[in-house]
Copies of this chain bind each other. A is one copy, B any other.
Amino acid sequence: MTEDTPNEIVVVKSEQSKINSVDFSNLIFGRVFTDHMFICDFKDGKWQTPQIIPYQAMTIEPSARVFHYGQAVFEGMKAYKDENDDIFLFRPDQNFKRINTSAARLAIPEFPESYFFDGLQTLLKLDKDWIKPGVGNSLYVRPFVIATEPAISASPANQYRFMIICSPAKAYYNEPVRVLFAEKFSRSADGGVGFAKAAGNYAAQFYPTSLAQKKGFQQIIWTDASTHQYLEEAGTMNIFFRINDKLVTAPNNDRILDGVTRKSVIQLAEDLNIDCEVRRVSVEEIKSAAKDGSLKEIFGAGTAAVISPVSAFEHGGDVFEIEQMEKDSYASLFKEKLLQIQHNLSEDPHHWRYKVK
Protein backbone atom coordinates (compact mmCIF):
# COMPACT_ATOMS: atom_id res chain seq x y z
CA MET A 1 0.00 0.00 0.00
CA THR A 2 1.50 3.29 -1.04
CA GLU A 3 -0.52 5.41 1.39
CA ASP A 4 1.36 4.00 4.36
CA THR A 5 2.13 7.35 5.84
CA PRO A 6 -1.07 9.31 6.18
CA ASN A 7 -1.21 13.00 6.55
CA GLU A 8 -1.70 13.70 10.20
CA ILE A 9 -5.32 13.48 11.24
CA VAL A 10 -6.83 16.90 11.82
CA VAL A 11 -8.55 16.79 15.20
CA VAL A 12 -11.16 19.29 16.36
CA LYS A 13 -12.25 18.44 19.88
CA SER A 14 -15.77 18.85 21.11
CA GLU A 15 -16.08 21.70 23.59
CA GLN A 16 -18.20 19.79 26.02
CA SER A 17 -18.85 16.08 26.35
CA LYS A 18 -22.44 14.83 26.14
CA ILE A 19 -21.57 11.81 28.26
CA ASN A 20 -23.27 12.99 31.44
CA SER A 21 -26.61 13.13 29.65
CA VAL A 22 -26.45 9.43 28.77
CA ASP A 23 -28.07 6.74 30.90
CA PHE A 24 -25.64 3.87 30.41
CA SER A 25 -27.91 1.43 32.19
CA ASN A 26 -30.70 1.95 29.66
CA LEU A 27 -29.02 2.00 26.28
CA ILE A 28 -31.04 1.28 23.16
CA PHE A 29 -28.76 -0.02 20.42
CA GLY A 30 -27.46 2.57 18.01
CA ARG A 31 -29.29 5.69 19.15
CA VAL A 32 -26.67 7.54 21.16
CA PHE A 33 -23.32 8.51 19.69
CA THR A 34 -20.09 9.59 21.29
CA ASP A 35 -18.58 13.07 21.21
CA HIS A 36 -16.52 12.67 18.06
CA MET A 37 -16.57 11.15 14.62
CA PHE A 38 -14.00 10.36 11.97
CA ILE A 39 -14.40 11.68 8.43
CA CYS A 40 -12.28 11.19 5.35
CA ASP A 41 -13.43 12.33 1.93
CA PHE A 42 -12.44 10.84 -1.40
CA LYS A 43 -12.19 13.27 -4.27
CA ASP A 44 -9.88 14.05 -7.18
CA GLY A 45 -8.96 10.37 -7.23
CA LYS A 46 -7.68 10.07 -3.68
CA TRP A 47 -8.57 10.00 -0.03
CA GLN A 48 -8.06 13.42 1.50
CA THR A 49 -6.68 14.36 4.92
CA PRO A 50 -8.67 12.52 7.61
CA GLN A 51 -10.44 14.54 10.25
CA ILE A 52 -11.91 13.90 13.66
CA ILE A 53 -14.52 16.47 14.59
CA PRO A 54 -17.37 16.77 17.08
CA TYR A 55 -20.20 14.36 16.27
CA GLN A 56 -22.74 16.34 14.30
CA ALA A 57 -25.16 16.35 11.41
CA MET A 58 -23.56 16.86 8.03
CA THR A 59 -24.43 18.67 4.84
CA ILE A 60 -24.99 16.61 1.72
CA GLU A 61 -26.56 17.20 -1.67
CA PRO A 62 -29.96 15.63 -2.42
CA SER A 63 -28.35 14.22 -5.56
CA ALA A 64 -25.64 12.38 -3.59
CA ARG A 65 -25.42 8.98 -5.22
CA VAL A 66 -25.88 7.04 -1.98
CA PHE A 67 -29.50 8.22 -1.80
CA HIS A 68 -30.31 7.02 -5.30
CA TYR A 69 -28.16 3.97 -5.99
CA GLY A 70 -27.26 2.67 -2.54
CA GLN A 71 -23.53 2.82 -3.05
CA ALA A 72 -22.67 2.30 0.62
CA VAL A 73 -20.87 -0.31 2.71
CA PHE A 74 -20.20 -0.56 6.40
CA GLU A 75 -18.61 -2.54 9.20
CA GLY A 76 -19.55 -3.37 12.75
CA MET A 77 -16.91 -3.66 15.45
CA LYS A 78 -16.77 -3.31 19.19
CA ALA A 79 -14.26 -1.72 21.55
CA TYR A 80 -13.91 -3.11 25.07
CA LYS A 81 -12.21 -1.83 28.19
CA ASP A 82 -10.58 -3.94 30.84
CA GLU A 83 -10.22 -3.11 34.54
CA ASN A 84 -6.97 -1.25 33.84
CA ASP A 85 -8.74 1.12 31.45
CA ASP A 86 -6.93 -0.41 28.51
CA ILE A 87 -8.99 -0.41 25.33
CA PHE A 88 -9.19 -3.37 22.98
CA LEU A 89 -10.71 -4.14 19.63
CA PHE A 90 -11.46 -7.67 18.48
CA ARG A 91 -9.84 -8.73 15.20
CA PRO A 92 -10.12 -5.30 13.56
CA ASP A 93 -7.85 -6.52 10.77
CA GLN A 94 -10.78 -8.68 9.64
CA ASN A 95 -13.13 -5.72 9.54
CA PHE A 96 -10.60 -3.67 7.65
CA LYS A 97 -10.18 -6.38 5.03
CA ARG A 98 -13.89 -6.92 4.76
CA ILE A 99 -14.86 -3.28 4.31
CA ASN A 100 -12.51 -3.14 1.36
CA THR A 101 -13.86 -6.43 -0.01
CA SER A 102 -17.35 -4.96 0.28
CA ALA A 103 -16.20 -1.68 -1.24
CA ALA A 104 -14.63 -3.41 -4.24
CA ARG A 105 -17.89 -5.27 -4.99
CA LEU A 106 -19.73 -1.95 -4.95
CA ALA A 107 -17.12 -0.16 -7.07
CA ILE A 108 -16.06 2.00 -4.11
CA PRO A 109 -12.34 2.84 -3.85
CA GLU A 110 -10.42 0.96 -1.17
CA PHE A 111 -9.62 2.77 2.04
CA PRO A 112 -5.98 2.89 3.17
CA GLU A 113 -5.07 0.63 6.07
CA SER A 114 -3.11 3.27 7.96
CA TYR A 115 -5.97 5.77 7.79
CA PHE A 116 -8.34 3.11 9.12
CA PHE A 117 -6.22 2.13 12.12
CA ASP A 118 -4.90 5.60 12.92
CA GLY A 119 -8.45 6.91 12.72
CA LEU A 120 -9.79 4.17 14.98
CA GLN A 121 -7.08 4.62 17.57
CA THR A 122 -7.30 8.40 17.70
CA LEU A 123 -11.09 8.36 17.86
CA LEU A 124 -11.25 5.68 20.57
CA LYS A 125 -8.71 7.46 22.73
CA LEU A 126 -10.63 10.73 22.46
CA ASP A 127 -13.91 9.03 23.36
CA LYS A 128 -12.46 6.52 25.84
CA ASP A 129 -14.80 7.52 28.66
CA TRP A 130 -17.67 6.17 26.57
CA ILE A 131 -16.26 2.65 26.81
CA LYS A 132 -17.40 1.18 30.10
CA PRO A 133 -15.52 -1.69 31.68
CA GLY A 134 -17.40 -4.84 32.58
CA VAL A 135 -18.41 -7.85 30.53
CA GLY A 136 -21.39 -7.07 28.31
CA ASN A 137 -20.46 -3.39 27.96
CA SER A 138 -18.83 -2.21 24.79
CA LEU A 139 -18.59 0.65 22.38
CA TYR A 140 -20.10 -0.29 19.05
CA VAL A 141 -17.89 1.12 16.29
CA ARG A 142 -19.43 1.74 12.88
CA PRO A 143 -17.09 2.49 9.99
CA PHE A 144 -18.99 3.20 6.77
CA VAL A 145 -18.50 4.63 3.32
CA ILE A 146 -21.09 6.48 1.28
CA ALA A 147 -21.06 7.82 -2.27
CA THR A 148 -21.40 11.60 -2.05
CA GLU A 149 -20.95 12.71 -5.62
CA PRO A 150 -23.86 15.06 -6.46
CA ALA A 151 -24.95 13.47 -9.74
CA ILE A 152 -27.63 10.88 -10.41
CA SER A 153 -26.16 9.02 -13.34
CA ALA A 154 -26.28 5.28 -12.64
CA SER A 155 -22.56 4.67 -12.43
CA PRO A 156 -19.91 4.59 -9.70
CA ALA A 157 -19.42 7.92 -7.97
CA ASN A 158 -16.15 9.82 -8.01
CA GLN A 159 -16.66 11.28 -4.53
CA TYR A 160 -17.07 9.33 -1.30
CA ARG A 161 -17.04 9.87 2.43
CA PHE A 162 -15.57 7.36 4.86
CA MET A 163 -16.76 7.83 8.42
CA ILE A 164 -16.49 6.17 11.80
CA ILE A 165 -19.17 6.80 14.38
CA CYS A 166 -19.42 5.10 17.78
CA SER A 167 -22.34 4.18 19.99
CA PRO A 168 -22.19 2.71 23.51
CA ALA A 169 -23.80 -0.74 23.59
CA LYS A 170 -25.09 -3.54 25.70
CA ALA A 171 -25.58 -7.01 24.22
CA TYR A 172 -27.81 -6.77 21.14
CA TYR A 173 -30.31 -9.55 21.82
CA ASN A 174 -30.91 -10.25 25.45
CA GLU A 175 -33.43 -13.05 25.11
CA PRO A 176 -33.30 -16.16 22.95
CA VAL A 177 -34.88 -15.39 19.60
CA ARG A 178 -37.57 -17.23 17.69
CA VAL A 179 -36.77 -17.52 14.00
CA LEU A 180 -38.50 -18.38 10.78
CA PHE A 181 -36.79 -20.32 7.98
CA ALA A 182 -37.30 -18.37 4.73
CA GLU A 183 -39.55 -20.10 2.21
CA LYS A 184 -40.43 -17.31 -0.20
CA PHE A 185 -38.28 -14.26 0.31
CA SER A 186 -34.53 -14.19 -0.25
CA ARG A 187 -31.65 -12.16 1.06
CA SER A 188 -29.26 -12.48 -1.87
CA ALA A 189 -28.51 -14.14 -5.17
CA ASP A 190 -25.64 -16.22 -6.45
CA GLY A 191 -23.42 -13.69 -8.16
CA GLY A 192 -24.90 -10.91 -6.06
CA VAL A 193 -23.65 -8.88 -3.12
CA GLY A 194 -24.74 -11.03 -0.15
CA PHE A 195 -21.14 -11.57 0.97
CA ALA A 196 -20.60 -7.81 1.17
CA LYS A 197 -21.73 -5.61 4.02
CA ALA A 198 -23.63 -3.56 1.46
CA ALA A 199 -26.29 -1.21 2.81
CA GLY A 200 -28.94 -2.48 0.40
CA ASN A 201 -28.70 -6.03 1.74
CA TYR A 202 -30.23 -4.87 4.99
CA ALA A 203 -33.20 -2.80 3.80
CA ALA A 204 -34.19 -5.77 1.62
CA GLN A 205 -34.71 -7.84 4.78
CA PHE A 206 -36.88 -5.39 6.69
CA TYR A 207 -40.22 -6.18 5.09
CA PRO A 208 -39.94 -9.99 5.25
CA THR A 209 -38.67 -9.62 8.82
CA SER A 210 -41.63 -7.44 9.73
CA LEU A 211 -43.95 -10.15 8.42
CA ALA A 212 -42.09 -12.71 10.52
CA GLN A 213 -42.38 -10.47 13.56
CA LYS A 214 -46.13 -10.27 13.13
CA LYS A 215 -46.14 -14.07 13.38
CA GLY A 216 -44.05 -13.93 16.55
CA PHE A 217 -40.58 -14.55 15.10
CA GLN A 218 -37.90 -11.91 15.61
CA GLN A 219 -35.53 -13.00 12.88
CA ILE A 220 -35.42 -14.90 9.60
CA ILE A 221 -32.87 -17.53 8.76
CA TRP A 222 -32.34 -17.03 5.07
CA THR A 223 -32.20 -19.95 2.70
CA ASP A 224 -30.64 -20.20 -0.74
CA ALA A 225 -32.70 -18.19 -3.23
CA SER A 226 -32.84 -20.95 -5.84
CA THR A 227 -34.35 -23.78 -3.80
CA HIS A 228 -34.96 -22.48 -0.25
CA GLN A 229 -33.67 -25.86 0.91
CA TYR A 230 -30.38 -24.79 2.49
CA LEU A 231 -29.97 -22.59 5.54
CA GLU A 232 -27.57 -19.70 5.11
CA GLU A 233 -27.46 -16.82 7.59
CA ALA A 234 -29.72 -14.62 9.66
CA GLY A 235 -29.01 -11.23 8.13
CA THR A 236 -27.34 -9.78 11.20
CA MET A 237 -25.79 -13.08 12.32
CA ASN A 238 -24.32 -16.26 10.92
CA ILE A 239 -26.01 -19.40 12.16
CA PHE A 240 -24.73 -22.53 13.89
CA PHE A 241 -26.63 -25.75 14.51
CA ARG A 242 -25.69 -28.24 17.21
CA ILE A 243 -26.68 -31.77 16.36
CA ASN A 244 -25.89 -33.98 19.34
CA ASP A 245 -22.38 -32.73 20.14
CA LYS A 246 -21.44 -31.68 16.63
CA LEU A 247 -21.66 -28.15 15.28
CA VAL A 248 -22.69 -27.42 11.70
CA THR A 249 -22.63 -24.13 9.84
CA ALA A 250 -23.00 -23.11 6.21
CA PRO A 251 -19.85 -22.50 4.17
CA ASN A 252 -19.05 -19.03 2.94
CA ASN A 253 -20.16 -18.24 -0.56
CA ASP A 254 -21.09 -15.11 -2.43
CA ARG A 255 -24.46 -14.97 -0.69
CA ILE A 256 -23.23 -15.23 2.91
CA LEU A 257 -21.34 -12.68 4.97
CA ASP A 258 -17.91 -13.88 6.08
CA GLY A 259 -18.60 -13.16 9.74
CA VAL A 260 -15.76 -12.42 12.15
CA THR A 261 -17.64 -13.96 15.06
CA ARG A 262 -18.48 -16.97 12.87
CA LYS A 263 -14.86 -17.67 12.03
CA SER A 264 -13.88 -17.12 15.66
CA VAL A 265 -16.45 -19.69 16.79
CA ILE A 266 -15.12 -22.18 14.26
CA GLN A 267 -11.60 -21.65 15.62
CA LEU A 268 -12.75 -21.88 19.25
CA ALA A 269 -14.55 -25.13 18.44
CA GLU A 270 -11.31 -26.51 17.08
CA ASP A 271 -9.45 -25.35 20.19
CA LEU A 272 -12.05 -27.04 22.37
CA ASN A 273 -12.09 -30.25 20.33
CA ILE A 274 -15.68 -29.68 19.36
CA ASP A 275 -16.40 -31.15 15.97
CA CYS A 276 -17.54 -28.34 13.64
CA GLU A 277 -18.58 -29.16 10.10
CA VAL A 278 -18.63 -26.32 7.59
CA ARG A 279 -20.98 -27.59 4.92
CA ARG A 280 -24.41 -27.04 3.46
CA VAL A 281 -27.16 -27.48 6.03
CA SER A 282 -30.55 -28.44 4.71
CA VAL A 283 -33.85 -27.40 6.19
CA GLU A 284 -34.89 -31.05 6.16
CA GLU A 285 -31.84 -32.10 8.14
CA ILE A 286 -32.61 -29.60 10.87
CA LYS A 287 -36.30 -30.46 10.94
CA SER A 288 -35.45 -34.17 11.20
CA ALA A 289 -32.95 -33.47 13.96
CA ALA A 290 -35.55 -31.41 15.80
CA LYS A 291 -38.01 -34.27 15.51
CA ASP A 292 -35.66 -37.02 16.64
CA GLY A 293 -34.23 -34.95 19.48
CA SER A 294 -30.69 -34.70 18.13
CA LEU A 295 -30.99 -30.94 17.52
CA LYS A 296 -29.66 -29.53 20.75
CA GLU A 297 -29.07 -25.88 19.89
CA ILE A 298 -29.26 -23.24 17.23
CA PHE A 299 -27.43 -19.98 17.77
CA GLY A 300 -26.46 -16.89 15.83
CA ALA A 301 -23.00 -15.39 15.86
CA GLY A 302 -22.33 -11.76 15.01
CA THR A 303 -20.56 -8.70 16.31
CA ALA A 304 -23.67 -6.93 17.52
CA ALA A 305 -25.36 -10.05 18.92
CA VAL A 306 -22.15 -11.87 19.98
CA ILE A 307 -23.88 -15.25 20.43
CA SER A 308 -27.65 -15.28 20.29
CA PRO A 309 -29.48 -18.52 21.16
CA VAL A 310 -32.51 -19.51 19.14
CA SER A 311 -35.46 -20.90 21.09
CA ALA A 312 -37.72 -21.94 18.23
CA PHE A 313 -37.92 -22.10 14.46
CA GLU A 314 -40.82 -22.23 12.05
CA HIS A 315 -40.95 -23.85 8.62
CA GLY A 316 -43.87 -24.93 6.48
CA GLY A 317 -46.32 -23.93 9.16
CA ASP A 318 -44.68 -26.14 11.80
CA VAL A 319 -43.06 -24.60 14.85
CA PHE A 320 -40.20 -26.44 16.48
CA GLU A 321 -39.38 -25.43 20.03
CA ILE A 322 -35.79 -25.88 21.13
CA GLU A 323 -35.43 -26.54 24.80
CA GLN A 324 -32.75 -24.22 26.20
CA MET A 325 -29.96 -26.20 27.86
CA GLU A 326 -29.38 -25.24 31.44
CA LYS A 327 -25.76 -26.31 31.36
CA ASP A 328 -23.11 -27.27 28.82
CA SER A 329 -24.70 -25.16 26.13
CA TYR A 330 -22.33 -24.40 23.30
CA ALA A 331 -23.96 -20.98 22.89
CA SER A 332 -23.08 -20.06 26.47
CA LEU A 333 -19.64 -21.60 26.18
CA PHE A 334 -18.69 -19.67 23.04
CA LYS A 335 -20.20 -16.46 24.31
CA GLU A 336 -18.23 -16.76 27.54
CA LYS A 337 -15.00 -17.58 25.70
CA LEU A 338 -15.45 -14.69 23.29
CA LEU A 339 -16.29 -12.17 26.00
CA GLN A 340 -13.32 -13.32 28.09
CA ILE A 341 -10.98 -12.76 25.20
CA GLN A 342 -12.61 -9.49 24.16
CA HIS A 343 -12.43 -8.03 27.69
CA ASN A 344 -8.83 -9.15 28.31
CA LEU A 345 -9.88 -11.65 30.95
CA SER A 346 -8.27 -14.71 29.38
CA GLU A 347 -5.40 -15.84 27.24
CA ASP A 348 -5.57 -14.87 23.60
CA PRO A 349 -3.83 -17.70 21.78
CA HIS A 350 -4.80 -16.48 18.31
CA HIS A 351 -3.88 -12.82 18.91
CA TRP A 352 -7.38 -11.59 18.29
CA ARG A 353 -7.17 -8.73 20.76
CA TYR A 354 -5.87 -5.45 19.37
CA LYS A 355 -4.79 -2.98 22.01
CA VAL A 356 -5.54 0.67 21.31
CA LYS A 357 -2.39 2.61 22.04
Is A18 among interface residues, defined by CB-CB distance under 8 A? no
A70 x B201 contact (CB < 8 A): yes
User: Does any Cβ of B come within 8 Å of A200's Cβ?
Assistant: yes
Asked whether A192 and B189 contact (CB < 8 A) given A62-B58, A199-B200, the answer is: yes
User: How long is the Cα–Cα vector from A31 to B64 in the complex, in angstroms?
Assistant: 10
Closest to A211 in B: B107
Given known A105-B207, A153-B29, A206-B156, contact A200–B55 (CB-CB < 8 A): no
This chain: copies in complex: 2
Residue from the list B55, B104, B187 in contact with A62, Cβ < 8 A: B55
Closest Cβ–Cβ distance, residue A191 to chain B (whole Å): 4
In A207-248, the 8 Å CB interface with B consists of 207, 209-210, 225-226, 228, 235-236
Complex Cα distance A150/B57, Å?
A: 10
Question: A144 at interface (Cβ–Cβ under 8 A)?
Answer: yes
A147–B203 CA distance with the chains assembled, in angstroms: 10
CA distance A189 to B182 in the complex (A): 13
Residues of B within 8 A of A147 (CB): 203
A68-B202 contact in complex given A30-B152, A207-B107, C-beta closer than 8 Å = yes
A210–B156 CB distance below 8 A = yes
Are the CB atoms of B204 and A106 closer together than 8 Å? yes
With A and B bound together, what is the CA distance between A66 and B163 in angstroms?
14
CB distance from A123 to the nearest CB of B (A): 13
Task: Tell whether A155 is near chain B: CB-to-CB under 8 Å.
Answer: yes
Q: Which residue in B72, B156, B167, B209 is a CB contact (below 8 Å) of A67?
A: B72
Question: Residues of B contacting A57 with CB < 8 Å?
Answer: 59-62
Query: Provided the pairs A189-B188, A226-B190 are in contact, do residues A30 and B63 lie with their beta carbons within 8 angstroms?
Result: yes
Asked if A184 is at the interface of the complex by the 8 Å CB criterion, the answer is: yes
A304, B107: Cα distance in complex, Å: 22
Interface string of A150-174 (1 = CB under 8 A from B): 1111111000000101010000000
Is A89 interfacial (CB 8 A cutoff)?
no
**Chain B residue nearest to A184 in the complex (CB):** B191
Cβ contact within 8 Å between B186 and A71: no
Name the CB-closest residue of B to A188. Answer: B189
Answer yes or no: A52 CB below 8 A from chain B CBs: no
Over the window 6-44 of chain A, the binary record of Cβ atoms lying under 8 Å from chain B Cβ atoms (1 yes, 0 no) is: 000000000000000000000011110100010000000
Shortest beta-carbon contacts, A-B, top 4: A200-B200, A70-B199, A189-B189, A186-B191
A-B contact pairs, 8 of them (CB 8 A): A31-B151, A33-B63, A70-B200, A71-B206, A155-B209, A156-B207, A190-B225, A226-B226
